[in-house]
């Protein structure tokens, strides 16, 4: 067979594949039971519209605009639908009969690995959640207040030092540094050092940013993830990139902790205020088959990825909205002063004390309403048999989600 014949054969196969794909798209547009659901025309044909808007950086506002224009149910892809209906939350995300996560989550973990956030197996996810859930009870989290106070003292000291120079400072950056050091301290028992200089330590911030920038768009075309992930890590070298770097960073901290005598090594039971890493190592020592070394790493990485960035974003948003509205800032300052004078607020406020401050709680809740830390679609796949939600029957296999942005602002 000549080279020309081979080339024509390849072109013919590509053309045939394109025609089949086009026919499938046209059939979906004309005969789908969900063809009446509104949305951008391009989103009826391809996920490219979703990818484009996500890469522009403001998909949450695009999605909000779609709901305001078209109502409670809109499409943002050929088989992707956004639902703005409070009644849909329990059906989609309820713990008892939760819909499985979509393939979008595959890009949030290295190929072949499992994480609590990205696990699409509902039974395995429930099993892993039970392994960790007692470590995140309210009583357990409150025990970490001394860790928070330690970082807060250093943060206040840095603010005082910089204010004396008369130079401007990037509060968003410093709040992010504060959040990272708090999460690092309660996770590893050691500050990562961000508050020492206000700079990225060990490239952790950069690595997490790279991880988020990679996973969000690649998850839309998750079948490409194994190839792109390998290529990205090859380019990044031995340190890895994004989440791989964070995992490598965590493993080095685990190894460091294993070298230091702890309550675990001495056969003593850990206290509630012990860092998460020590608690995880204790569980591993007690039941290595049930709570594996992978679970130890998984728990620490989850803290760093989920806790630091969202905390920094929320703190920055609170400061932004208060500075934008001087009356609200003055009202909050008045409440703080009053509670302190009346002896209801310590020099280092506790969680219990701040819970009794209505205006502070209103500021926090209103900030979370105006600026939720997460705006990406946390998609779920409609299970076998389909589901009727918001007056529409969704066949099995399509992706649906409920946005906290549209819930708050829609």
Q: Supply the pTM of this predicted model.
A: 0.85
Q: How far apart are CA 214 and CA 221, in angstroms?
A: 12
Determine the length of the chain. Answer: 410
CA distance readout (Å), 194 to 133, 248, 297, 304, 309 = 28, 18, 21, 13, 13
Structure tokens at 42: 């391009």
CA–CA distance, 251 with 239 (Å, rounded to integer): 12
274-301 burial, b for 16+ CB within 10 Å, e for fewer? bbbbbbbbbbbeeeeeebeeebbbbbbb
- Cα 195 from Cα 154, distance rounded (Å): 7
pLDDT for res 243: 61
- Find the DSSP H helices in 342-383: 351-355, 358-370
Q: Got the DSSP string for 238-303?
A: TT-STHHHHHHHHHHHHHHHHHS--TTTTTPPPPTTS-HHHHHHHHHHH-TTTS-HHHHHHHHHHI
User: Tokens 């679609």 identify what position?
Assistant: 377
Question: What are the CA-CA distances from residue 409 to residues 8, 59, 119, 262, 341 (Å)?
Answer: 54, 14, 30, 48, 37
Residues of the chain with CATH 1.10.630.10: 133-324
Record the tokens describing residue 331, joined without a space: 């009202």
Buried b (16+ CB within 10 A) or exposed e, 5-30: eeeeeeeeeeeeeeeeeeeeeeeeee
pLDDT 10s per residue in the chain (410 long)? Answer: 554 554 455 455 555 555 555 555 555 555 567 889 999 999 999 999 999 999 998 899 999 999 999 999 999 999 999 999 988 888 898 877 779 999 999 999 888 888 889 999 988 988 888 999 889 989 899 999 999 999 999 999 999 999 999 999 999 999 999 999 999 999 988 888 999 999 988 788 888 888 888 999 999 999 999 999 888 777 666 555 556 667 777 788 888 877 765 544 444 555 568 899 999 999 999 999 999 988 998 899 889 888 888 999 999 999 999 999 999 999 999 999 999 999 999 999 999 999 999 999 999 999 999 998 888 899 999 999 999 999 999 999 999 999 888 877 76
Just give the CATH number of 133-324: 1.10.630.10
């Amino acid at each position: 067979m000549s080279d020309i014949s081979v080339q024509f054969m390849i072109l013919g196969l590509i053309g045939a594949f394109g025609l089949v794909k086009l026919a499938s798209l046209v059939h979906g547009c004309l005969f789908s039971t969900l063809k009446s659901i509104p949305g951008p025309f391009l989103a009826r044909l391809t996920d490219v519209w979703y990818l484009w808007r996500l890469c522009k950086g403001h998909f949450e506002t695009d999605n909000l605009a779609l709901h305001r224009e078209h109502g409670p149910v809109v499409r943002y892809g050929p088989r992707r639908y956004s639902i703005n209906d409070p009644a849909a939350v329990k059906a989609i995300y309820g713990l008892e009969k939760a819909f499985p996560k979509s393939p979008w989550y595959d890009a949030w973990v290295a190929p072949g690995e499992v994480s609590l956030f990205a696990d699409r197996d509902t039974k395995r996810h429930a099993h892993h959640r039970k392994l960790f859930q007692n470590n995140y009870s309210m009583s357990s989290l409150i025990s970490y207040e001394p860790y928070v106070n330690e970082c807060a003292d250093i943060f206040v000291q840095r603010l005082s030092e910089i204010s004396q120079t008369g130079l401007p400072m990037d509060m968003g950056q410093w709040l992010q540094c504060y959040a990272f050091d708090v999460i690092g301290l309660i996770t590893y028992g050691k500050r990562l050092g961000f508050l020492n200089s206000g700079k990225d330590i060990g490239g952790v911030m950069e690595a997490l940013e790279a991880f988020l920038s990679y996973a969000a768009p690649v998850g839309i075309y998750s079948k490409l993830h194994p190839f792109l992930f390998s290529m990205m890590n090859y380019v990044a070298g031995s340190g890895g990139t994004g989440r791989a770097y964070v995992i490598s960073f965590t493993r080095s901290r685990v190894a460091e902790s294993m070298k230091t005598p702890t309550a675990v090594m001495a056969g003593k039971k850990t206290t509630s205020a012990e860092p998460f890493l020590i608690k995880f190592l204790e569980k591993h020592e007690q039941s290595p088959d049930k709570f594996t070394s992978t679970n130890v790493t998984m728990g620490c990485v989850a803290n760093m990825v989920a806790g630091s960035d969202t905390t920094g974003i929320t703190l920055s948003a609170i400061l932004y909205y208060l500075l934008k509205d001087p009356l609200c800032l003055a009202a909050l300052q008045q409440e703080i002063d009053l509670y302190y004078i009346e002896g209801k607020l310590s020099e280092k406020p506790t969680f219990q004390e701040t819970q009794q401050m209505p205006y502070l709680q209103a500021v926090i809740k209103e900030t979370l309403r105006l600026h939720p830390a997460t705006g990406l679609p946390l998609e779920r796949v409609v299970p076998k048999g389909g589901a009727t939600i918001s007056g529409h029957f969704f066949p099995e296999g399509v992706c649906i989600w409920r946005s906290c942005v549209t819930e708050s602002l829609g």
